[in-house]
Amino acid sequence: MCICDFYKEYVVAHQNEVNHILRINYGGGYNSFWVSMENNSYPCLAILTNNNLACVHYFPEEGDSGFQSVSTENLSKNTSGETEFRVDNINRPQFLNNDAVVSLREAIEVVQEFMVLPLRPTAITWREL
């Protein structure tokens, strides 16, 4: 499996590596990851992290809007209803609704499940976009 973040590409062979890689952050606790199987662009996962919070997207194929994580509890302490992430540039904030925010632990479970079977993981609840 391949995991790319803002600055580096990782080839992952073992599930225990996922825990370490998804905890790497830059510039105040942020990172953005693309996860796919080696030699295949799709299906893939896109994971945004802000310290111990995450937003996860699953894209089954190119051109498909995919699915977004659904929060089952209010994890964000941000009272504005949105949580700050970084998508494609560590210096440019993007705000996503709190109802899409899951824990980093849940995001790690999603990637570990995807590593075994590269289909939409069942570890979290999804909303189709």
* CA torsion angle 82 84 89 91 (round to 10): 130
User: Which of 30, 105, 31 lies closest to 75 in space, CA to CA?
Assistant: 105
Where is average pLDDT lowest: 30-34, 47-51, 67-71, 84-88? 84-88
Tens digits of residue pLDDT in 7-62: 999 999 999 999 999 999 998 899 999 999 988 899 999 999 999 999 999 999 99
Tens-place pLDDT, residues 96-117: 999 999 999 999 999 999 999 9
- Could you tell me the pLDDT band of residue 70, with boundaries at 50, 70 and 90? very high
Task: Round to whole Å and give the CA distance between 4 and 6.
Answer: 7
Residue 38: what pLDDT?
87
Smallest CA-to-CA distance from 43 within 122, 129, 120, 109 is with 120
Q: Where are the domains of the chain?
A: 2-128
Omega within 30 of 0 (cis) for the link into 43: yes
Is the pTM higher than 0.75? The answer reads: yes
Q: What is the pLDDT of residue 27?
A: 84
